[in-house]
Structure 1
Amino acid sequence: MKYRTLGNTGIEVSEIAFGAEFLVERPYEDTEVLIKACEENGINFVDCWMSEPDVRSHLGKAIKPNRENWVIQGHIGATWQNNQYVRTREMDKVIPAFEDFMERFQIDTLDFGMIHYVDQIDDYNEIMNGPFMEYVRKLKEEGTIAHIGLSTHSPDIGLLAAQNPEIELLMFSINPAFDMFGSVDDVGDYRKEDAYDDKDLSSINPQRAELYEICQNNGTALTVMKGFAGGNLLSDETSPFGVAMTPVQCIHYVLEQKGVSSIFVGVKTVDELMESLKYCDASESEKDYYDVLKNAPEHSFKGQCTYCGHCSPCASDIDIAMVIKLFDLAKYHDKIPESIRQHYNDLKFNATDCIACGECEDRCPFSVPIVDVMLDVQDLFEL
Structure 2
Amino acid sequence: MKYRDLGDTGIKVSEIAFGAEFLVERPYEDTEDLIKACEANGINFVDCWMSEPDVRSHLGKAIKGHRENWIIQGHIGSTWQNNQYVRTREMDKVIPAFEDFMERFQIDTLDFGMIHYVDQLDDYNEIMNGPFIEYVRKLKEDGTIEHIGLSTHNPDIGLLAAQNPEIELLMFSINPAYDMFGSMGDIEEYRKEDAYDGQMFGLNPQRAELYETCANNGTALTVMKGFAGGNLLDSETSPFGVALTPVQCIHYCLEQKGVSSIFVGVKTVDELEESLKYCDATESEKEYVETLKNAPKHSFEGQCTYCGHCAPCASEIDISMVNKLFDLAKNRDEVPASVMEHYNNLKYNATDCIACGDCEPRCPFNVHIVDVMLDAQDLFGF
- 2:260 is matched with 261
- 1:106 is matched with 106
Instruction: Tell me the secondary structure at the aligned position of residue 65 of structure 2.
Output: helix
For 1:251 and 1:185, the matched residues in 2 are separated by 25
Instruction: Tell me the secondary structure at the aligned position of residue 65 of structure 1.
Output: coil
Instruction: Tell me the secondary structure at the aligned position of residue 17 of structure 2.
Output: strand
Instruction: Tell me the secondary structure at the aligned position of residue 147 of structure 2.
Output: strand
Is 1:337 equivalent to 2:341 in the alignment?
Answer: no
Instruction: Tell me the secondary structure at the aligned position of residue 146 of structure 2.
Output: strand
Is 1:226 equivalent to 2:225 in the alignment?
Answer: yes
- In structure 1, give the amino acid aligned to 2:206: Q
Identity of counterpart residues, as a percentage?
84
- 1:238 is matched with 237
For 2:378 and 2:368, the matched residues in 1 are separated by 16
For 1:325 and 1:257, the matched residues in 2 are separated by 14
Instruction: Tell me the secondary structure at the aligned position of residue 303 of structure 1.
Output: coil
For 1:356 and 1:18, the matched residues in 2 are separated by 47
Instruction: Tell me the secondary structure at the aligned position of residue 263 of structure 2.
Output: strand
For 2:30 and 2:283, the matched residues in 1 are separated by 33
C-alpha displacement at 1:262, in angstroms? 0.2
Instruction: Tell me the secondary structure at the aligned position of residue 316 of structure 1.
Output: coil
- 1:309 is matched with 308
C-alpha displacement at 1:57, in angstroms? 0.5
Is 1:20 equivalent to 2:14 in the alignment?
Answer: no
For 1:357 and 1:284, the matched residues in 2 are separated by 29
For 1:338 and 1:50, the matched residues in 2 are separated by 42
- 2:143 is matched with 143
- 1:328 is matched with 327
C-alpha displacement at 1:134, in angstroms? 0.5
Instruction: Tell me the secondary structure at the aligned position of residue 248 of structure 1.
Output: helix
**Bigger mean CA offset, 60-69 vs 10-19:** 60-69
C-alpha displacement at 1:354, in angstroms? 1.0
* 1:173-212 alignment, distance < 5 Å: 173-198=173-198, 200-212=199-211
- 2:372 is matched with 373
Residue ranges of structure 1 left out of the alignment (5+ in a row): none
**For 1:112-169, what per-residue CA distance to the aligned partner results, in whole angstroms no more than 9, with x for missing partners?**
0000000000000000000000000000000000000000000010010000110000
Is 1:249 equivalent to 2:248 in the alignment?
Answer: yes
Is 1:300 equivalent to 2:302 in the alignment?
Answer: no
For 2:97 and 2:370, the matched residues in 1 are separated by 56
C-alpha displacement at 1:323, in angstroms? 0.5
- In structure 2, give the amino acid aligned to 1:170: L
For 1:184 and 1:338, the matched residues in 2 are separated by 23
For 1:332 and 1:120, the matched residues in 2 are separated by 24
Q: Give the TM-score of the pair, scaled to structure 2.
A: 0.99
- 1:358 is matched with 357
C-alpha displacement at 1:254, in angstroms? 0.2
- In structure 1, give the amino acid aligned to 2:253: V
- 2:49 is matched with 49
C-alpha displacement at 1:80, in angstroms? 0.3
* 1:90-101 alignment, distance < 5 Å: 90-101=90-101
Instruction: Tell me the secondary structure at the aligned position of residue 133 of structure 1.
Output: helix
For 1:290 and 1:162, the matched residues in 2 are separated by 28
C-alpha displacement at 1:317, in angstroms? 1.0
- In structure 1, give the amino acid aligned to 2:310: C
C-alpha displacement at 1:358, in angstroms? 1.2
Paired positions, count: 382
**Bigger mean CA offset, 209-218 vs 354-363:** 354-363
Is 1:167 equivalent to 2:164 in the alignment?
Answer: no
C-alpha displacement at 1:48, in angstroms? 0.1
**For 1:328-356, what per-residue CA distance to the aligned partner results, in whole angstroms no more than 9, with x for missing partners?**
11113211111111111111111111111
- In structure 1, give the amino acid aligned to 2:2: K
What RMSD in Å do the two structures reach over aligned CA positions?
Answer: 0.7
Instruction: Tell me the secondary structure at the aligned position of residue 250 of structure 1.
Output: helix
For 2:224 and 2:317, the matched residues in 1 are separated by 33
Instruction: Tell me the secondary structure at the aligned position of residue 176 of structure 2.
Output: coil
Instruction: Tell me the secondary structure at the aligned position of residue 263 of structure 1.
Output: strand
For 1:266 and 1:97, the matched residues in 2 are separated by 23
**For 1:24-48, what per-residue CA distance to the aligned partner results, in whole angstroms no more than 9, with x for missing partners?**
0111100000000000000000000
- 1:157 is matched with 157
Q: Give the TM-score of the pair, scaled to structure 1.
A: 0.99
- In structure 1, give the amino acid aligned to 2:257: K
**For 1:219-261, what per-residue CA distance to the aligned partner results, in whole angstroms no more than 9, with x for missing partners?**
0000000000000000000000000000000000000000000
- 2:34 is matched with 34
**For 1:280-317, what per-residue CA distance to the aligned partner results, in whole angstroms no more than 9, with x for missing partners?**
11111000000010000000000000001111111111
Instruction: Tell me the secondary structure at the aligned position of residue 359 of structure 1.
Output: coil
**For 1:48-86, what per-residue CA distance to the aligned partner results, in whole angstroms no more than 9, with x for missing partners?**
000000000000111112101100000000000000000
- In structure 1, give the amino acid aligned to 2:192: K
Instruction: Tell me the secondary structure at the aligned position of residue 36 of structure 1.
Output: helix
Residue ranges of structure 2 left out of the alignment (5+ in a row): none
- In structure 1, give the amino acid aligned to 2:371: D
C-alpha displacement at 1:185, in angstroms? 2.4
